[in-house]
Amino acid sequence: MNPAIQSLAAQRALEAAAAAQNMGLMRRAACAAADKVRTLLPEPAPVTVLAGPGNNGGDALHLACELAEAGYPVTVVSPAPQKGDEAVAARARWDAVSGHTVREFPADAGALIVDGLFGIGLSRAPAAPWDALIRAVNASGVPVLALDTPSGLDATRGTAPGEAIRARHTLTFLCLKAGLLTGDGPGLCGALEVAPLGVPPALWPPAEGGLNRPLLAPLARKANSHKGSYGTVCVVGGSPGMLGAALLAGRAALALGAGKVHLSTLDARLAVDPGHPELMIAPHAPRLPAHQVCAIGPGLGQSGDARAALAAALALDASLVVDADALNLVAADPALAERLATRQAPAVLTPHPAEAARLLGRPTAEVQADRVAAARTLARRFGQTVVLKGAGTLIARADGFYRVNASGNAALAAAGQGDVLSGAIAALIAQHLPPFDAACLAVYLHGLTGDLYRARQGYMLGLAASQSAADLADIANALLLIHERNTI
């Protein structure tokens, strides 16, 4: 899969450039979709094709022609006439090939439904009669192949403001779209593939983002190394009642290979972690142990002592991972926000949507309505790497480039998982990965702990953050072993 993500404007410009070269993208899209249908249904079987009024409907009508000519029984559902020269021409071709067209969704939709109602330009809730048609499709239980994007999903923002097709497969054309990978997108797309349609590289604009496909090679260990080779992490947090958060971050940092991990806790009652005595635990003091990376926020709280600890961390000449209540303190205090935005040493900010909303001074719903924009805005505002957590976690750089993560699932929707991620990012920065690369790799590996749990259990209930922290080492080691064998 081509990992590049393009903006809607860039995709439209690419389509125009291809049209100027008479590439016939609509027919190419139909042929690619026909190949996908033949993969899903190797033997001809009844197919219902939903054709909307625009170019997405044109793709669907050309696909219907390809399938009918290959011997598949095809019914086209088209509640409204096509508009635009290409879509009208596609309808004329279909009428000449078969013309079996109905306006209502059939009682028997066959073996497969192809969704070609609306494409990537849709940004509003589908109105009547389309909303009722989408409800009928979802209620049918028949597998759906969506063309370019499931109808009803905003492919740019990843939101579904009204009824939306729940596809089992999505074949998107030319390139990835951010909205297919984040927010509501992953839950609606099913298995996602890209059909690049043979567009030459010279026509492609620079990508604004990409799928998160990090390299593990930087974690490969040298024989002649020692604990100092892999850096020291200091976790600052663990206020009364929240010591577990700091412990989870510290355990995750150990699991991903940090040479040493200190916990500087605001609750002084814990002297040792019996499960992980390697963690060096001490009450928080203004002078922290020597370290390369400070992860501040897990279990920090928002007390006066917590604010003082954050102010001290911001003054350090060390990389930071800023999470949880450290972000809430920044959001509430313009002076702290200014210090974070102007510090010279790098930082990674790891907000969930509500924390991002506080940093931006917006409702959480606005963040979720355009997750890409929120992550990029925060990264630019603070001049740092930002990890916006959630379905399709986003990792954004200060220059606006971003990646969308596709590993993980709702098993990770549990307390403590953010603390695990913070410790993981800190461990990778301590091992000399640049902050953006460290964030990308940590997010990917952390997501895999959810995927591993689902593979083991069959579903997503009950994954504890402590289990994710422990699984990080197993997953990273397995992938590094594969990398090592492939490079010999």
Give the per-residue SS3 of the chain.
Answer: CCCEECCHHHHHHHHHHHHHCCCCHHHHHHHHHHHHHHHHCCCCCCEEEEECCCHHHHHHHHHHHHHHHCCCCEEEECCCCCCCHHHHHHHHHHHHHCCCEECCCCCCCCCEEEEECCCCCCCCCCCCCHHHHHHHHHHHCCCEEEECCCCCCECCCCECCCCCCCCCEEEEECCECHHHHCCCHHHHHCEEEEECCCCCHHHCCCCCEEECCCCCHHHCCCCCCCHHHHCEEEEEECCCCCHHHHHHHHHHHHHCCCCEEEEEECCCCCCCCCCCCCCEEEECCCCCCCCCEEEECCCCCCCHHHHHHHHHHHCCCCEEEECHHHHHHHHHCHHHHHHHHHCCCCEEECCCHHHHHHHHCCCHHHHHHCHHHHHHHHHHHHCCEEEECCCCCEEECCCCCEEECCCCCHHHCCCCHHHHHHHHHHHHHHCCCCHHHHHHHHHHHHHHHHHHHHHHHCCCCCCCHHHHHHHHHHHHHHHHHHHHHHHC
Q: Does 123 appear as a known binding residue?
A: yes
Q: Does 121 appear as a known binding residue?
A: yes
Q: Does 115 appear as a known binding residue?
A: yes
Q: What is residue 76's predicted lDDT score, i.e. its pLDDT?
A: 98
Answer yes or no: CATH 3.40.50.10260 is held by domain 4-206.
yes
Q: What is residue 286's predicted lDDT score, i.e. its pLDDT?
A: 82
Q: What is residue 2's predicted lDDT score, i.e. its pLDDT?
A: 64
Residue ranges in the chain modelled with pLDDT below 70: 1-2, 488
Q: What is residue 465's predicted lDDT score, i.e. its pLDDT?
A: 98
Q: Does 392 appear as a known binding residue?
A: yes
Q: Does 245 appear as a known binding residue?
A: yes
Q: What is the pLDDT of residues 428-470, one digit of tens each?
A: 999 999 999 999 999 999 999 999 999 999 999 999 999 999 9
Q: What is the pLDDT of residues 280-311, one digit of tens each?
A: 999 998 888 888 999 999 999 999 999 999 99
Q: Does 409 appear as a known binding residue?
A: no
Domain boundaries, the chain: 4-206, 228-480
Q: What is residue 19's predicted lDDT score, i.e. its pLDDT?
A: 82
Q: Does 301 appear as a known binding residue?
A: no
As a CATH number, domain 228-480 is 3.40.1190.20
Q: Does 58 appear as a known binding residue?
A: yes
Q: Does 124 appear as a known binding residue?
A: yes
Q: What is residue 473's predicted lDDT score, i.e. its pLDDT?
A: 96
Q: Does 128 appear as a known binding residue?
A: no
